[in-house]
A = this chain, B = another copy of it.
Amino acid sequence: MSTSEVDEGRQAWLRTVAADVARLDRSSSAERAADILRRSITEGALPPGAQLSEIELTEVLEVSRNTLREAFRLLTHEGLLVYKLHRGVFVPELDERDVVDLYRLRRVLEVDVVRGLADRDPELPAGRLEPLQDDVEAAEAAALADRWAAVGTANMRFHQHLIGLADSARMDAMTGRLLAELRLLFHVIATPQELHEPYIARNRGLFELLEARKYEQAAADLHQYLLDSEQGLLEAFRAR
């Protein structure tokens, strides 16, 4: 083993440690408060249109107003809250135009990631697709148990992991925000089962295409998949 190989291994190890440290470090009060609020919003406890009172939440979350406002800012930037000057923060109410906008971006990013996999296929380490497989199986299991919210969550994770294959920190961040906003839209839907059910099988199909390295066909399927999904969401939205 050459010296440079040793160095390389050490470099890689140092990076993983640094990542661990960063993960532990990120425990400021503001971020912890933001975590709790984020879950409340994405899980629907705080429905679109709801106002978040400052004094009320300072008591519940046991943080000062300043810290709470910092948490608000964090979530505002993720698109999970909107500020109305001198009136407070609200859970945003997205409409059909937002659906179109969000899906346009999803199509652009996800399809490009899949198509781009063809170029870097050789350098992709084995087991890279495992998270996707886990998500597919989680969705199937949740469907059997009639837990449709969990199906939606697994579906989200599938797409997040799909983007993750590109190894682009900025794509990951963008996708995180896009999917969080999408979750806001799901909460105004009356029938989550109809919305999520068709995509359990399609996710598996997509996964198998990727596993078989048929990237071009996977990209084409994904494109149609997202068009259909957008259409379904728009219809459910208009029928609310």
Contact = CB atoms under 8 A, between A and B. Distances in A.
Interface of A: 25-26, 28, 66, 69-70, 73-74, 77, 85, 101-102, 104-105, 108-109, 112, 166, 168-171, 174, 178
Contacts of A70: 69-70, 73
B69 A168 contact: no
Given A25-B85, A77-B77, A85-B25, A105 B170 contact: yes
Summarize A's interface: helix, strand, loop or mixed: helix
Nearest to A112: B108
A26 B174 CA distance: 24
Contacts of A69: 70
A28 B108 contact: no
Given A70-B69, A70-B70, A105 B171 contact: yes
A29 to B, nearest CB: 11
A28 B85 contact: yes
Given A77-B77, A101-B168, A108-B112, 15 more contacts: A26-B85, A28-B85, A69-B70, A70-B70, A73-B73, A73-B74, A73-B77, A101-B169, A102-B170, A104-B166, A104-B171, A105-B174, A108-B109, A112-B112, A174-B174
Contacts of A174: 105, 174
